[in-house]
């Protein structure tokens, strides 16, 4: 065969290969890149069949023998093909995008339910057993995803919105590992408090991984924003907007239908149960939208005057008894002797058991489980139910920290009582420092004003110190006093390690995974019970009439079930009204919002409007009147208080013991301050500059490597861990 014919044949083969390859590349690519590069290199292509059939060549080895330039060119072609397909995806019609949003929403809802139930089976079970509720939750997520269609970077928008949902789901998953109450919008207001407790719930290693995870998510989002393509076509803004409006109307119609047919509820008696029954998306979004107390349909000046006229007729008769009143809210406290499957070497609460038999007592229905201390506290102090507020809402964080509210503090203050609040935790927790001021307390002793405090292995202050602080308040005035105390020792997390507490009581529990947490918990409440015994001894020794009310704020987060509590429910603790006055009070089971009436009625003392409502009404009528009273005080026009004040003017002080500087001196290269009532939260300030301070003892503070000059002004400030100044001493001029 001649050279000419051979070349022609090779050329024909080469053209055939070229044509075949061109058919596999998008038309927009143009000339075959591989062929172009090979021609520029002066190389000839050889038929794949020929290469594959060469002696000693394995099938497919031809690809490995290709020059680097050819392999790179083919990779570039594949990338361009992927980009073209991705651009085609991005440029899809609006109908296609809507379908994609719905598909993503379906997947997201399934993932959220799996995370919220902490079970793969639980998520799919919700889909199968409650398909209407499941699709309703999908529609909520779908509605949020539609907003991505307004963006040029639609893919990024969908990914970003999906990421927000997934992050919320993961937070809910983590939160449910430490408490029973799911993640809700109100938790965003608790961020500062959460960071202050992070060492209690997470180890340093876990904290590092959390930070790495947050950084990774942010980095990925930024990279996706830069890499995802823009939508180049007509965004059809009007069509997208119409779709969003239709989707919103659909969600509203589905909501009304589901509520009216009892498929879902907008009244969450139990947030944890609501999340399980109605889904994460609905409950979480509801907690964002549903805040405060909605204006009642019958709220008006005329109706409030009618309520006022009726309630004002309720007068006390006879002589009022005015003892010292002490109320202690015991953190996560209940009698573990009633738990099925729990065996203990001894009764961990002997004092509480004895008092139940000796004084008026009963079960105490609270609005919280495993968390939510402030809501039980609110109901006890005001007589107003927290269920009137939004889903999972803490009135302490949303309303009562800024608006006066009538309650036990203001009622007793009007009767001449000194009013005190005590809490062996930081003053800003649940914003109590502002709440108590709005309620009419004269003074607040928080952890920043306590001395000789001991701590649990998880970092919570022990309750033993409360005895001295309560007695200090009683001795602070010549009048009778109201002392409201919130303990913290029984607070979770309950560790599952060894040597986490003193072994007063040995524990055996049928659930082996929870035996060590129960061991820790039981030994904490043993010490809390000792505190109660010591307090009663001090009160009896003091010699004045007193009423001491004890109750648990909620059950602990120890995975208890209704079946393990044959005598009560998961939302019941116990209360006792201890007194040395032989008060005739009946044993009965009550709600937290009832206790203020029970107390004031037993003492024949004047009642507040909420307490009068409890006395005169019941059922739906009681709820209607209480909602109007609460709305009028917190959001309305205060028509109930046209002739009185909600809370007497008060300037709440922090602490009871005055912090005093008696002497300041330079010693070597240090400043030494002498005085009274210093503690670990005391900070020396020189000429209004806070200096690093070393606590020596209750009478001595030191500032190292610093000296005073004549005329310098020294002040001692109480500073919390968030660097907030709570109070300061008088100034001392050197």
pLDDT digit string (tens) for 637-684? 999 998 888 988 768 999 999 999 999 999 999 999 999 999 999 999
Say if CB 143 and CB 251 are below 8 A apart: yes
Whether residues 428 and 307 share a domain: the answer is yes
Whether residues 634 and 662 share a domain: the answer is no
Residue 77's pLDDT band, with cuts at 50, 70 and 90, is: low
Whether residues 85 and 194 share a domain: the answer is no
Residue 18's pLDDT band, with cuts at 50, 70 and 90, is: very low
| SS3 (DSSP) at 188 | helix
Residue 295 inside a domain? The answer is no
Question: Does residue 122 surpass a pLDDT of 60?
Answer: yes
Residue 12: its pLDDT value, please?
45
439-454 average pLDDT score = 95
pTM of the model: 0.78
Whether residues 711 and 598 share a domain: the answer is no
Residue 179's pLDDT band, with cuts at 50, 70 and 90, is: confident
Question: Does residue 418 surpass a pLDDT of 60?
Answer: yes
Determine the structural domain holding residue 49 and report its residue range.
3-89
Whether residues 283 and 340 share a domain: the answer is no
From the number of C-beta atoms within 10 Å of its C-beta (0-12, 13-18, 19+), residue 102 rates as middle
From the number of C-beta atoms within 10 Å of its C-beta (0-12, 13-18, 19+), residue 431 rates as buried
Where is average pLDDT lowest: 36-50, 58-72, 477-491, 555-569? 36-50
Beta-strand (E) ranges in 295-376?
324-330, 342-344, 361-365
Question: Does residue 263 surpass a pLDDT of 70?
Answer: yes
Whether residues 145 and 60 share a domain: the answer is no
Report residue 255 as tokens.
């909501």
324-330 average pLDDT score = 98
In angstroms, the CA 217 to CA 195 distance is 20
Residue 210 inside a domain? The answer is yes
Mean pLDDT in the chain?
A: 85
Residue 650 inside a domain? The answer is no
Among residues 26, 56, 89, the one where a domain terminates is 89
Where is average pLDDT lowest: 237-241, 432-436, 604-608, 616-620? 237-241
Residue 45: its pLDDT value, please?
43
> Which carries the bigger pLDDT value, residue 511 or residue 674?
674
Residue 91: its pLDDT value, please?
47
Phi, psi at residue 715, to the nearest 5°? -140, 145
Smallest CA-to-CA distance from 488 within 351, 327, 329 is with 329
Where is average pLDDT lowest: 48-52, 203-207, 522-526? 48-52
The CATH number given to whatever domain includes residue 700 is 2.60.40.10
Total domains, the chain = 4
| SS3 (DSSP) at 458 | coil
Question: Does residue 534 surpass a pLDDT of 70?
Answer: yes
Whether residues 635 and 665 share a domain: the answer is no
Whether residues 52 and 121 share a domain: the answer is no
| SS3 (DSSP) at 486 | strand
Residue 46: its pLDDT value, please?
44
Question: Does residue 42 surpass a pLDDT of 60?
Answer: no
Question: Does residue 176 surpass a pLDDT of 50?
Answer: yes
Question: Does residue 16 surpass a pLDDT of 70?
Answer: no
Whether residues 717 and 569 share a domain: the answer is no
Residue 392: its pLDDT value, please?
81
Question: Does residue 614 surpass a pLDDT of 70?
Answer: yes
Partners of residue 485 on adjacent β-strands: 328, 422
Among residues 223, 258, 289, the one where a domain terminates is 289
- Looking at the chain, the whole-number percentage of residues with pLDDT higher than 90 is 59
- Looking at the chain, the whole-number percentage of residues with pLDDT higher than 70 is 84
Residue 86: its pLDDT value, please?
46
Neighbours of 643 (CB within 10 A): 7
In angstroms, the CA 340 to CA 563 distance is 8
Residue 727's pLDDT band, with cuts at 50, 70 and 90, is: very high
Quick one: angle between helices 94-117 and 131-145, nearest 10?
A: 120
Whether residues 567 and 452 share a domain: the answer is yes
Where is average pLDDT lowest: 24-28, 155-159, 298-302, 530-534? 24-28
| Rg (alpha carbons) of the chain, rounded to whole number | 35
- In the chain, DSSP finds a helix count (H) and a strand count (E) of 26, 20
Residue 676: its pLDDT value, please?
96
Looking at residue 538, the DSSP 8-state letter turns out to be H
Residue 93: its pLDDT value, please?
58
For the stretch 384-402, pLDDT in tens is: 999 999 888 899 999 999 9
In angstroms, the CA 653 to CA 726 distance is 9
Residue 648 inside a domain? The answer is no
Residue 371: its pLDDT value, please?
80
Q: Which residues of 578-612 are buried (b: 16+ CB within 10 A; e: fewer)?
A: bbeeebeeeeeeebbbbbbbbbbebbebbbbbbbb
Residue 369: its pLDDT value, please?
86
31-41 average pLDDT score = 43
Residue 296 inside a domain? The answer is no
Question: Does residue 217 surpass a pLDDT of 80?
Answer: yes
Residue 553 inside a domain? The answer is yes
Question: Does residue 30 surpass a pLDDT of 60?
Answer: no
Which residues have C-beta within 8 Å of that of residue 537, sequence separation ≥ 6?
none
Residue 76: its pLDDT value, please?
59
> Which carries the bigger pLDDT value, residue 152 or residue 19?
152
Residue 258's pLDDT band, with cuts at 50, 70 and 90, is: confident
Residue 56's pLDDT band, with cuts at 50, 70 and 90, is: very low
The CATH number given to whatever domain includes residue 378 is 3.40.720.10
431-458 average pLDDT score = 95
Residue 76 inside a domain? The answer is yes
Residue 380's pLDDT band, with cuts at 50, 70 and 90, is: very high
Smallest CA-to-CA distance from 423 within 328, 504, 336 is with 328
Residue 81: its pLDDT value, please?
57
Looking at residue 522, the DSSP 8-state letter turns out to be H
Among residues 36, 61, 89, the one where a domain terminates is 89
Whether residues 81 and 144 share a domain: the answer is no
Residue 646 inside a domain? The answer is no
Smallest CA-to-CA distance from 288 within 392, 400, 157 is with 392
Question: Does residue 79 surpass a pLDDT of 60?
Answer: no
136-156 average pLDDT score = 87
> Which carries the bigger pLDDT value, residue 364 or residue 154?
364
Whether residues 223 and 342 share a domain: the answer is no
Question: Does residue 726 surpass a pLDDT of 90?
Answer: yes
Residue 54's pLDDT band, with cuts at 50, 70 and 90, is: very low
């Amino acid at each position: 065969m001649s050279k000419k014919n051979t070349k022609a044949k090779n050329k024909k083969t080469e053209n055939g290969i070229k044509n075949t390859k061109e058919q596999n590349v998008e038309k927009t690519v143009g000339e075959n890149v591989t062929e172009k590069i090979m021609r520029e290199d002066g190389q000839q292509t050889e038929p794949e069949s020929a290469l594959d059939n060469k002696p000693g060549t394995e099938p497919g080895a031809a690809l490995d023998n290709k020059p680097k330039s050819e392999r790179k060119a083919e990779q570039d072609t594949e990338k361009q093909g992927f980009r073209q397909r991705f651009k085609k995806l991005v440029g899809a019609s609006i109908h296609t995008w809507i379908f994609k949003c719905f598909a993503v929403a379906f997947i997201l809802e399934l993932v959220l339910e799996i995370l919220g139930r902490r079970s793969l089976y639980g998520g799919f079970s919700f889909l199968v057993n409650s398909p209407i509720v499941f699709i309703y939750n999908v529609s909520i997520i779908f509605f949020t995803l539609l907003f991505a269609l307004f963006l040029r970077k639609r893919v990024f928008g969908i990914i970003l919105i999906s990421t927000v949902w997934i992050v919320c789901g993961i937070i809910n998953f983590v939160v449910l590992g430490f408490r029973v109450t799911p993640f809700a919008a109100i938790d965003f207001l608790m961020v500062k408090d959460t960071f202050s407790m992070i060492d209690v719930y997470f180890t340093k290693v876990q904290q590092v991984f959390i930070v790495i995870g947050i950084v990774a998510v942010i980095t990925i989002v930024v990279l996706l924003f830069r890499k995802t393509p823009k939508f180049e076509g007509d965004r059809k803004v009007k069509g997208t907007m119409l779709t969003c409006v239709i989707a919103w109307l659909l969600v509203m119609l589905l909501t009304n239908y589901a509520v009216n047919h009892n498929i879902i509820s907008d009244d969450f008696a139990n947030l944890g149960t609501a999340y399980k029954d109605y889904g994460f998306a609905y409950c979480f979004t509801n907690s964002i939208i549903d805040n405060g107390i909605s204006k009642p349909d019958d709220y008006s000046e005329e109706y409030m005057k009618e309520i006022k006229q009726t309630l004002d007729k309720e007068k006390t008769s006879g002589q009022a008894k005015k003892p010292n009143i002490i109320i202690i809210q015991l953190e996560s406290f209940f009698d573990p002797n009633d738990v099925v499957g729990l065996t203990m070497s001894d009764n961990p609460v002997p004092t509480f058991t004895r008092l139940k038999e000796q004084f008026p007592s009963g079960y105490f229905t609270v609005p919280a489980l495993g968390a939510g201390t402030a809501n039980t506290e609110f109901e006890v102090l005001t007589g107003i139910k927290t269920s009137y507020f939004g889903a999972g809402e803490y009135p302490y964080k949303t309303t009562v920290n800024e608006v006066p509210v009538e309650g036990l503090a203001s009622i007793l203050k009007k009767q001449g009582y000194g009013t005190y609040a005590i809490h062996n935790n930081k003053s800003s927790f649940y914003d109590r420092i502002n709440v108590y001021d709005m309620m009419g307390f004269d003074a607040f002793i928080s952890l920043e004003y306590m001395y000789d405090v001991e701590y649990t292995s998880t970092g919570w202050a022990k309750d033993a110190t409360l005895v001295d602080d309560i007695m200090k308040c009683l001795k602070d005035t010549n009048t009778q006093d109201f002392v409201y105390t919130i303990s913290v020792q029984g607070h979770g997390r309950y560790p599952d390690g060894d040597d986490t507490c003193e072994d007063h009581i040995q524990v055996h529990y049928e659930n082996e995974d929870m035996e060590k947490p129960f061991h820790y918990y039981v030994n904490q409440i043993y010490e809390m019970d000792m505190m109660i015994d010591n307090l009663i001894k001090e009160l009896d020794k003091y010699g004045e009439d007193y009423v001491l009310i004890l109750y648990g704020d909620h059950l602990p987060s120890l995975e208890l079930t209704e079946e393990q509590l044959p005598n009560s429910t998961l939302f019941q603790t116990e209360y006792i009204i201890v007194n040395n006055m032989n008060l005739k009070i009946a044993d009965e089971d009550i709600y937290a919002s009832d206790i203020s009436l029970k107390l004031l009625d037993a003492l024949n003392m004047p009642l507040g409007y909420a307490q009068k409502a409890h006395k005169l009404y019941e059922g739906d009528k009681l709820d209607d009147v209480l909602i109007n009273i609460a709305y009028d005080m917190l959001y309305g026009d205060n028509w109930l208080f046209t002739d009185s004040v909600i809370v007497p003017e008060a300037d709440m002080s922090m602490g009871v013991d005055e912090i005093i500087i008696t002497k300041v001196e330079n010693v070597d290269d240090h400043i030494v301050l002498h005085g009274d009532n210093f503690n670990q939260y005391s900070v020396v300030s020189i000429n209004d500059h806070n200096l690093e301070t070393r606590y020596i003892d209750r009478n001595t503070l030191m500032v190292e490597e610093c000296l005073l000059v004549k005329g310098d002004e020294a002040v001692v400030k109480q500073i919390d861990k968030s660097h907030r100044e709570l109070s300061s001493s008088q100034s001392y001029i050197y």
